[in-house]
Structure formats: structure tokens, C-alpha cells
Amino acid sequence: MAKSKRQKSQNSTYAFLPNAPKALVYDAIATLNRDFEQVLSDLERLEGLRLFPRRWQREFLKVWRATLEETRAWVNFDVIEVLHHREEREWARFGRIRQRSEKPSEPRAELLAPAKSGGRKSQRRK
């Protein structure tokens, strides 16, 4: 039972809502990054208002900025990894669709006729 739960969670790691429009996913990532920028900008504004006059406070501010940037990079990395898998699957799927549509159409009779076994080599041996 533990194995099936683990497999299920690994498979769901890269699961998306089947109807999640790609534009909404990428828009959410852009919004997330914009919001991180806003928080960083707000911290800079507070610093400009001299809210952190002591050296140790300014040092904490540097740590906060680094923590925010690290968190943003971590979130982006994980989200992009999930998107990479999704885009890779779609690339392969649409590639197969394109390749099938590029194949020249075969006459229906050839498609329905049973395949001949042996080929030319067996005919030469007879």
C-alpha cells in the first residue's frame, strides 16, 4: 500500500488541471514575479524613509532581500520544472500529430489488404 501511495504522489507531482489554459498558467507566474518585485520595492521604499537607521537593521534588510530573491528563484525553478514536463509532453504529442498529417495518403485498398509475408528475399529463394 505504501508503494502505491508513493507512486501516486510521484505521478501527481507534475499533474495539471486538464483544462488549465496555458495562458493562465504563465500569467500566474508573471503575477507571482511581479508581486515579489512589489515586496522588494516596498522594502526599498521603507529603507528610503529611513525606517531602518541602525546598522543591524540594515543588515537584516539585506538578509530579507536575499531571502525573498532566493524564495522567488526556488518557486520559479519548481514551477518551471513542472511546466517543462508539460511542454515536453505537448511537444511530443503535437509532433506526432504533425507527422501523421504530413504522411502522404495511402489508397484505402492498400490499408485494408493483409500484409504480405516474406517479401523479395523469400521469392528469390524459391
Residues near 82 by beta carbon (within 8 Å), at least 6 away in sequence: 13, 14, 16
What is the extent of the structural domain holding 92?
A: 18-104
Q: What is the pTM of this model?
A: 0.61
Domain assignment present for residue 69? The answer is: yes
Q: Confirm whether 91 is domain-assigned.
A: yes
3-state SS string for 77-94: HHHHHHHHHHHHHHHHHH
In a domain, 118, yes or no: no
Q: Is residue 56 assigned to a domain? A: yes
In a domain, 10, yes or no: no
Q: What is the pLDDT of residues 72-97, one digit of tens each?
A: 999 999 999 999 999 999 999 999 99
Q: How far apart are CA 119 and CA 39, in angstroms?
A: 71
Provide the domain count of the chain.
1
Nearest CA to 14 out of 74, 76, 71, 84 is that of 84
Size of the chain in residues: 126
Q: Are 20 and 63 in contact (CB under 8 A)?
A: no
In a domain, 73, yes or no: yes
Residue 71, domain member (yes or no) = yes
The answer as to whether 116 is a domain residue is no
Output the nine-digit C-alpha cell for 6: 508513493
Mean residue pLDDT of the chain comes to 80
